[in-house]
A and B are shown apart, each in its own frame.
Chain A
Amino acid sequence: MTNDDPQVQRLVSDLVARRIDRRQFVRLALALGVSLPVAGALLAACGGNVPATTGAVPASSGAGPTAAGAGPTATPAAPAVPAKLTLRLISDIANLDPAFYPASVDEAVSAGIYEGLVAWKPGTFEVVNQLAATFEPSADGLSYEFTLKEGIQWQKGYGEVTAEDVKFSYERIAGLTTPAIESPYKGDWSPHLKEVIVKDKLSGTIVLKEPFAALMRSTLPTPSGFILSKKAVEERGDKFATDPVGSGPYEFVSWTPKERAILKRFAEYSGAFAEYIGSPFPEIHFLPIENDSAADIGLETGEIDFGAVSVANIERFEGNPEFEVKTAPTLDYNWIGMNQEHPKLKDIRVRQAIRLAVDVPAMIDAAFEGRYMRANAIIPENMGLGYWADAPQYDRDVAAAKALLQEAGVSGLELSFTYTEETGSKVLAQIVQENLAEVGITVTLNIVDSAAFYELGKKLRERELFYVGFVTQPDPSWSFVWFTCSQIDIWNWQYWCGTEFDRLHFAALKEPDQAKRGEMYIEMQRLWDAQANVVWVSFPTNFYGHRTGIEPAITPHGRFLPHAFRVA
C-alpha cells in the first residue's frame, strides 16, 4: 500500500479536516495495511493539532497491536496551548505553609507559589539566584549578604517583597519570631541561625552562629528557604495554610478537599525566575488520586496530563506512542524497622536473625516490579556525599537466622508488622510474613492509614516491626536527622539513641570540608549497621507518565516542578 492509494489519501484528508483524530487515523491506517512508521510519518506531515483541552477525550485505547513502539509521535506545526495542565497527586494536600507542610504533595503544589533568595536551576542541583539580585557568602561561611531584585510583587495585592519579609520568613522557621512557632523543619535553620539583619528595603545579611554545611544544599533552595509575605502571614493567621500568598509565577485559587486544587498564572509576576521557567499554562489543576490503578486509567483517558504511574503499568505506557514515561530516581529510602526497645526485640541476635530471614530482592521484585534500586544503607550514590560503597549486603540465610534465634533462646516468637497503604506495602508485608514464618516467627499484619501511622508519639513504643519510607532533601543530614536521640517518640521509631551517632551528626553539620563530612556520614552508617535495627529495602524511583505534548520538569531527586512544565 502506497501513499498514492485513494483510501489512504481519503484517510489523510479526513485527518487534516479533523473528521477523525490521530488515534483513529493510526488504527485505520494500520487496518488498511499501511505500516506503522509510514503512518507515523503521515501523521507528522499532515497531522492535526494537539487536542485543545485535557477534558473530554475519547475513552482509553485498547491500543494493543498498534502500540508496538516505533512510529514518530505527531509534532504539530504550532501547538495550541491547553487551557489547563492537570497533574496527579498521590494524596490530598493538607497544608501549604512552608513551615508546616506534611508531605511531598504539598511541596509540589507550593513550588509554583513561592520563591526563595536562591533556587535550583530546574532539572539540576545547581543553585542560582531567584529573588536575590546578589547573594554573597562570606569567607568564613558565617554571613550571607543579599540584595533583592527590585519591584517583585506579592500576590493578592500584598505589595512589594522586602528584606523584612526575608527576615520574617527565615527567623519564623527557626523559631525566633514572636510569637514563636514550632516548625517540624526548624532544624533547617536552628540552632545555626543567629538572625537576619535588615540593612535597607531590599538588602540584608543572614548571620549564622556557627558554620552550617547544609545551608546551600538543603535549606535555602527548599521550602525552608521560601520567602513569605510578613503582612499576609500575620493577617491570615491559620488560614494562610490553605490560602497562601507567595511571589511566584502561580497563585493559589482554590482547594476542594479530596477533589481538586487550582493554581492560576499570577498576572503581575515579576519575572524573577523567568529566565529558567516559562510555563505557558494559564491554570494548573491538581487531582489527588490515591489509587494507582485509578490514576493510570485517568492518564489514559486524558483526565490527567501527568502523574506518577504504578510500577506495574510502566511498560504499557512506554509502549504507547501517545505517552511517555520519565524515570526519576530519588534520594528517598524505605526500610523495615525494628523497635529495639521493645522487650521482644531487645536481643540483638533476634534482630540479626530477622535481618537474615527476609528476602529483600523478592520484595523489590514483587512490590516494585524490580524497578527500585536495592538499598544497603541510608545514603544512595546520587546523594553525592556520604555514600558507603562497602555497606554489607545481607542475603537471605534461613539457616543462619534459625541458628541465631536458637542461640538467643527464642522460639514461637510473635510479632506485629505495621505498614501503610503506600505502593507495594501490602505485597511486601505478606512476603515478610511468609519469610519470617519459615524461621518460626509468626507475624500479624497491621495496616494503618498514613495519618495514623505518623501521628503516634509515645504510643510508638508499642510498635514492633514496621515498614515505611521517608523522603529527603539533597543533604545527608536531612536523611539522618530523624534517627537521632532527640527524635525518640517522634520520628525515631527504632528507639535507638546512639551517642557517637548523634555527636557525628551534629559535628558534620558544621564541617566545611566535604571529604571529612563524607567520612563522618559513612562512620554513622557503620555504627547504625552494627545495631541491626533496620533492614534496608530500596531507594524508590519515581516514574512519571505523561502524554506527549507536554514537557515536564523533574528534579534530580525525583520531584516535579509544575510551574516549569512546558508544551512540547
Chain B
Amino acid sequence: MGRYVVQRIALSAIVVLLSMAFLGVFAHLVPGDPVTVILGPRASEALSQTVRAEMDLDKPVPVQVWNFVVGALQGDLGNDFVSGLPVTTLLAASLPHTVILAVASLGLAVLLGVPLGVYAATRPNGWIDRITRVISVSLITLPAFVGGLFLLLIFAIGLGVLPAIGAGNFSDPVDYARRLILPTVALAATWIGYIARLVRTSMLEVLGQNYIRTARAVGLRDRVIFYKYALKNAIIPTVAVLGVGLGSLLGGAVFVEVIFSRPGLGTLIVDSITSRNFPIVRGATLVIALFFVLANLLADLSYGFLDPRIRVQGQSA
C-alpha cells in the first residue's frame, strides 16, 4: 500500500512539474515574437519592455522555463502587466470562491446522484429508474452555462426568489450560502446525471455477479448485500469519475462565475484575456491544473483504501 501511495504521489509531482514547464514555454508555442503574441494590439513600446523584462524573454528559452518553474515552486507567479501587483495576490483573492463553488457542486452532485442511482438500481426498469435515466441523460447534455442561464432566468429574474449576482461576503455566511445556490445547482446538474447512471450501472453489475448469488443463497440479508458489497463496488468508479469530473467542473465554473457575476478564478481568467494580461492567465491556469492533479491524486489514493485488489497489486508491482 505504501508503495502504491508513493508511486501515485511521485507521478502527480512529475505531472505538476511538467505543467509548470508547459506553461513556462507557453508563450513560445504560438508562432511569432512572444511579446507581440502576448500583447496583441497592446504592444506599445513601454509595455513591450515591461513584458520583456517581466517574462525574461531576452534569455534563452530553457532559462525562462527554469526561472518560471523555480519561481512557481516558491509561490511566485510573476507580476501582472497592468497594475504590477503579484499574480499570487490577485489569485489568492479569487481562489476561495472558486474552490467553494467546486466543492459545493461536487458535494451536491454526490448527495443527489448517489441516492438516485441507488434507488434506480433497487428497482431496475421500474418507473423511477426510467425517469432517472431520462433526467440524467437530459442533465448530462445540459452544459453548465446553459443551465446557469436558465436558472438565472427562472429563479432570479422570473420568480425573484434567489439572488442573481455576486458571491457576497464571508462575514455573512447565510447570504453567501444563498448566493451559492443557483451557481452550484447549475454546475452540479450534469454530474448528478453521470453519477446516478454510474452508480446504477455499477451496482447492477455487482448484483448480477456470482458471489452475490452465493451470499444470498447462504442467507445474508438483502440490505447487507446491498450496502456492503454493491454500493461499495459502485464507489470506486464514482470516485474515479469525480476526480476527472473536477476538471470539467472547473471548466464549467468559468461560465457560471461569469453568468452570476461571482468573483473567482474563472472571471479572473476571462477578464485577463480581454485585457491581454498574460501572467494572470498563466497563473490562474496553473492553479486550476494543480487542483485538478490534486483531485485526481486523492481519487487515486482513495481507490487504494476502497479496493483491496489495488492495494495488493501495488505491493507486488
Contacts and interface: CB of A to CB of B under 8 A. Distances in A.
Given A60-B160, A258-B263, A291-B261, A451 B82 contact: yes
Nearest to B164: A297
Task: Give the dominant DSSP class at A's interface.
Answer: loop
A452 B82 CA distance: 11
B58 interface: no
Nearest to B160: A62
Given A257-B85, A257-B90, A294 B42 contact: no
B302 interface: no
Contacts of B42: 449, 451-452, 455-456
A455 B160 contact: no
A423 interface: no
Interface in A290-308: 291, 294, 297-298, 301, 303
A448 B41 contact: yes
Given A421-B274, A455-B44, A257 B83 contact: yes
Contacts of A56: 168, 172, 174-175
A518 to B, nearest CB: 38
A262 to B, nearest CB: 13
B224 interface: no
Nearest to B263: A259
B164 A449 contact: no
Contacts, number: 80
Contact of A301 (B43, B90, B165, B174): B165
A298 B263 CA distance: 14
Interface residues of A, number: 27
Interface in A13-64: 55-56, 59-62
A298 B271 contact: no
B276 interface: yes
Given A257-B83, A291-B261, A59 B44 contact: no
Contacts of A257: 83, 85, 90, 93
A455 B42 CA distance: 7
Contacts of B83: 94, 257
Contacts of B166: 294, 298, 301, 303
A215 to B, nearest CB: 32
Given A257-B85, A294-B261, A301-B164, A60 B172 contact: no
A459 B165 contact: no
A111 B47 CA distance: 29
A69 interface: no
Contacts of A452: 40-42, 275-276
A256 interface: yes
Interface string B122-163: 000000000000000000000000000000000011111111
Nearest to A418: B41
A319 to B, nearest CB: 15
Interface string B167-185: 0110010110010000000
B33 interface: no
A294 B85 contact: no
Given A56-B175, A60-B160, A256-B93, A459 B276 contact: no
Nearest to B267: A258
A118 to B, nearest CB: 33
Contacts of B157: 60
Given A291-B261, A448-B41, A449-B274, A60 B164 contact: yes
Q: Identify the interface centre among B41, B93, B178, B274: most chain A CB within 10 Å of its CB.
A: B41
Nearest to A421: B274
A297 B162 CA distance: 12
Given A62-B159, A256-B93, A257-B83, A457 B164 contact: no
A298 B161 contact: no
A303 B178 CA distance: 14
Interface string B27-47: 000000000000011111101
Given A301-B165, A455-B44, A55 B175 contact: yes
A59 B162 contact: yes
Contacts of B275: 449, 451-452
Interface string B47-74: 1000000000000000000000000000
B271 A59 contact: no
B232 to A, nearest CB: 42
A301 B268 CA distance: 23
Contacts of A60: 156-157, 160, 163-164
A52 to B, nearest CB: 14
Contact of B41 (A55, A61, A256, A456): A456
Interface in B226-282: 261, 263, 268, 271, 274-276
A386 B181 CA distance: 56
Interface string B85-96: 100001001000
B165 A59 contact: no
A259 B82 CA distance: 16
Contacts of A449: 42, 274-276
A112 to B, nearest CB: 22
A55 B85 CA distance: 29
A256 B93 CA distance: 9
Interface in A155-212: none
B44 A456 contact: yes
Contacts of A291: 261
A243 to B, nearest CB: 13
A421 B275 CA distance: 11
A61 B175 CA distance: 17
Nearest to A290: B271
A59 B162 CA distance: 6
A455 B45 CA distance: 10
Given A55-B172, A59-B160, A298-B166, A258 B271 contact: yes
19 contacts: A55-B172, A56-B168, A56-B175, A59-B160, A59-B162, A60-B156, A61-B160, A62-B158, A62-B160, A94-B82, A257-B90, A259-B263, A289-B261, A294-B261, A298-B166, A301-B163, A301-B165, A452-B40, A452-B41
Q: Across chains A and B, which 5 residue pairs bring their CB atoms closest together, nearest first?
A: A62-B160, A294-B261, A452-B42, A56-B175, A297-B165
Given A297-B164, A301-B165, A451-B82, 8 more contacts: A258-B263, A258-B268, A291-B261, A297-B165, A303-B166, A449-B274, A452-B40, A452-B41
